[in-house]
Amino acid sequence: MGSATAATQARPKALETATLCEAFQTTAAEYAERPALRLKDTDFECSWAEFAATVRRRAAAFAALGVGRGDTVGFMLVNRPALHLCDAAAMHVGATCFSIYNTSSVEQIEYVVGDAASRVVVTEPQLLDKLLEVRERVDTLEQIIVVGEAREGAISLEEFEALGSGSFDFDAAWRSVESDDVLCLIYTSGTTGPPKGVQLTHANVMSDARALLEVIDFTPGGRSVSFLPTAHAADRILQLYGSMVYGHAVHCCPDPRQVVAYTIEVKPTVWGGVPRIWEKLKAALEAQGIADPEALSEEQKAAIRSNLGLEECEWFGVGAAPTPPEVIHYFAALGIEICELWGMSETTVVATVNPPGRVRVGTVGLPLPGVELKLAEDGELLVRGPMVMKGYRNMPEKTAETLSEDGWLATGDVGEIDEEGYLKIVDRKKELIINATGKNMSPANIEAKVKAACPLVAQVVAIGDRRPYNVALITLDPDACGAFAAEHGLEDASPAAMARQEAVREAVAAGVEEGNAALSRAEQVKKFRLIEGEWEPGGEELTPTLKLKRKPIGEKYAAEIEALYAA
């Protein structure tokens, strides 16, 4: 899709800088008149020169609030330009920034804000009540800034900006920031226990940015869509910070459900997401009758890419969870080469990636330049390189458990490395199913096979640890339910109602059988239960990044699970 290779691209000047502050200033000067931030369906557009001017004003305002090098600033916002403008301003006074998932409970917000010792939080009017409650509990939280109409207990963005003094030495402030300073905190949405604050430095982020452009084929100064939560490492690092290095124009998408509509209008030059987005897109195309893309002409394939808004895209990526090979093969047949990658918050997002033109389906690619991989005796993947985190905030014991003295990060993933160095992730070390006969199995692999075989399925939880056979809990996809209901003349298309329909159960059963055909006998799902209702990100069953909370699920649905084994 790209017209040039990474090796021949003109390297952005910002890549040679030591801190993200310096990178931002370099990019803002190099691309001054180009768009930096846009918001669909509005007339908002901000050039890099305007971005830089706003950062200068708001940095002075943060300084007026007493925020300086080493302090922390939190953000609880939808994807909107104000987040980029304020976050960059705080960064320029040396502050460490972090984002909070908007779905968080008051207790979860209290933990994160308290652990970060945040002095200021920037938020939305609809989220203000939670933060006002948190401020009563967290001594360090001094000021809440609201993007929109403020109420008692908070100040508006306009009132905040007016605090800045013309005498503030902006250049001295950002030039005093050093490469080993902590740039941001990424709070892992761990499936067990409280989240850990991953400390990423300016050097971590800059090293990852340099390594990515050595491998990935895209032109600096392009277009991207920001739709994942900024509390998610992928959006914070690749969109918020990546744009400051590569000069991309970021189009903010406040509602992730509208990402396809944004993509069609924006025509991004780089585009990626979690596997579920690609799975849903495949299901939507199949529902339109595009079941065998290999049978299409090149002209037909080009029309489909154009209808998706992807005709100018130079690179497609996917990560954060295993991607069914069927999905990658399907889009490859349409001329969309998806490069699966792997990383974690602790590795500044990306550590391995399938190089364009050398994709090996079923793997997460090769290590980025500067990254070392090895496997421990039990198969756990160990990673070392300049993008490995500084450590966990306020958790020296956890840091020591995870990060060795010589820099090797214990990832918790079980991996395999082939003869050419391509990495395959088998599963999470602590999530492997060991059945009653001692057989080790990957629940993620089982779940992926079933999901790939049945578009109706949203989530699958494979269960079988210390059991004689595997069973599964399955939820239904709301969009797929709507299409199925229309096709079968069913009035109520809600997942709860659809889970009670025999036709739906039969369709899911057929999908389970098809998925089983790609699994060994021991791995196969013998029985399943359709769960009525939806599992929401950040709820009891899913983390905000759509990872399964296996232990809470096991506890909540204990009766349903036991019934599957008792039947």
* Any domain includes 363: yes
Q: Are residues 332 and 457 in the same domain?
A: no
Cβ neighbors of 158 (< 8 A, separation 6 or more) are: none
Q: Are residues 319 and 445 in the same domain?
A: no
Q: What is the pLDDT of residue 275?
A: 85
* Any domain includes 264: no
Say which CATH number the domain at 188 has.
3.40.50.12780
The CB-side HSE value for 451 (13 A sphere, CA atoms) comes to 29
Q: Are residues 361 and 447 in the same domain?
A: no
The C-alpha atoms of residue 452 and residue 511 are separated, in whole angstroms, by: 8
Measured between alpha carbons, how far is residue 492 from residues 174, 483, 501 in Å? 57, 12, 10
* Any domain includes 133: yes
The C-alpha atoms of residue 346 and residue 30 are separated, in whole angstroms, by: 31
Strand 45-47 with 72-76, pairing = unpaired
Number of domains in the chain: 3
Cβ neighbors of 130 (< 8 A, separation 6 or more) are: 76, 104, 106, 109
* Any domain includes 141: yes
CB 324 within 8 A of CB 280: no
* Any domain includes 231: no
What are the strands, taking DSSP E only, across 206-305? Answer: 223-226, 249-252, 270-273
Domain boundary among 373, 405, 429: 429
* Any domain includes 252: no
Q: Are residues 158 and 303 in the same domain?
A: no
Domain boundary among 429, 450, 485: 429
49 φψ region: left (φ > 0), alpha (ψ -120 to 50), beta (else)? alpha
CB 409 within 8 A of CB 384: yes
Q: Are residues 285 and 311 in the same domain?
A: yes
Q: Are residues 200 and 288 in the same domain?
A: no
Measured between alpha carbons, how far is residue 383 from residues 346, 387, 415, 565 in Å? 10, 10, 11, 40
Q: Are residues 405 and 389 in the same domain?
A: yes
Long-range Cβ contact pairs of 326-330 (< 8 A, separation 24 or more): 326/452, 327/275, 327/278, 327/279, 327/282, 327/452, 328/359, 328/361, 329/361, 330/282, 330/293
Q: What is the pLDDT of residue 82?
A: 96
* Any domain includes 232: no
CB 38 within 8 A of CB 249: yes
What sign does the CA torsion over 427, 433, 434, 435 have?
A: negative
231 φψ region: left (φ > 0), alpha (ψ -120 to 50), beta (else)? alpha
Cβ neighbors of 92 (< 8 A, separation 6 or more) are: 21, 24, 55, 56, 59, 170, 173, 174, 177
Q: Are residues 191 and 85 in the same domain?
A: yes
What sign does the CA torsion over 63, 183, 399, 545 have?
A: positive
Domain boundary among 429, 450, 473: 429
* Any domain includes 131: yes
pLDDT along the chain (567 residues), means of 10: 45 94 98 94 91 98 97 97 98 98 89 96 96 96 94 95 94 98 89 82 97 89 93 93 96 90 93 86 88 94 94 92 88 96 95 96 96 95 98 96 96 94 88 79 87 91 91 93 90 92 94 90 92 88 83 92 89
Which pTM was predicted? Answer: 0.84
Structural domain of 163: 18-35+43-215
Strand 352-353 with 366-367, pairing = antiparallel
The DSSP annotation for 473-521 comes to: EEEE-HHHHHHHHHHHT-S--SHHHHTT-HHHHHHHHHHHHHHHTTS-T
Q: Are residues 381 and 490 in the same domain?
A: no
Cβ neighbors of 27 (< 8 A, separation 6 or more) are: 12, 13, 14, 48, 244, 245, 246, 247
The C-alpha atoms of residue 281 and residue 275 are separated, in whole angstroms, by: 10
Q: Are residues 396 and 466 in the same domain?
A: no
Q: What is the pLDDT of residue 9?
A: 53
Q: What is the pLDDT of residue 41?
A: 76
Nearest alpha carbon to residue 414 among 400, 431, 401, 399: 431
Q: Are residues 206 and 64 in the same domain?
A: yes
Q: Are residues 377 and 509 in the same domain?
A: no
Q: Is 355 exposed, middle or buried, given 0-12, 13-18 or 19+ CB atoms closer than 10 A?
A: middle
Say which CATH number the domain at 559 has.
3.30.300.30
The C-alpha atoms of residue 295 and residue 138 are separated, in whole angstroms, by: 61
